[in-house]
Chain A
């Protein structure tokens, strides 16, 4: 049972990793809000992170009960399929014959809101981890005096 302290820490750590990955993706979206070229061709496509719950014994899902908790993992990073932003700018190098440029489907305001959400979730995981530490401290004090 004493291992539960470390399990709680690992769970919170996985939450921190997940939220940090989300913040990285948001940063990438904001940085590329005006990128009209990307490796896959066309403008940059907004990315989103999809999380999934992680349970122990994932090799044998029948044994993975509600008590074998082990946090969260990043399931995939997916492209947002909404249409690109069209702007009229014939002077742009990537303008089509009619003078329209396809800009990424990134809306910076929306990204900022997501960023705050991710930050709050990150802080919540930090406070969970701090409480785990205070638990371990309290348990170690038993019998010392």
Chain B
């Protein structure tokens, strides 16, 4: 039971938080579409998650002692979203690199992701209700 609780609620909550953060960052990008020198931001989360779930994109450091530090998160609850700034591109003369169409596409994708996660959360909660009320 504790296992179900930890993996589903904490984990879905974390994924929802990172999706909301990404939405905020995209809103910021869109709001600053005409700000000279503004560089777009991105939220990294799924790659970290994949690493923590055992599909590392980058090579993990070998850990032969308990005092060694890992370069990838080893537990799911250590995975935190990170905001990064994309500095190396420019699409207008004023140094701004926000492409509204692209931001819109990412925003829609992110919205579907969030709706999926909330749906999963609903199913989770209704499973608990089934257990608590008894099966009728």
Contacts and interface: CB of A to CB of B under 8 A. Distances in A.
Interface in A8-63: 8, 11-12, 14-15, 18-19, 22, 50-53
A121 B115 contact: no
Contact of B24 (A11, A22, A53, A145): A11
A92 interface: no
How many B residues touch the partner, as a band? Answer: 35 or more
Interface residues of A, number: 41
Interface in B82-136: 83-85, 100, 103-104, 107-108, 111, 114-115, 118-119, 121-122, 125-126
B30 A125 contact: yes
Nearest to B117: A138
B27 interface: yes
Interface of B: 16-17, 20-21, 23-28, 30-36, 38, 41, 83-85, 100, 103-104, 107-108, 111, 114-115, 118-119, 121-122, 125-126
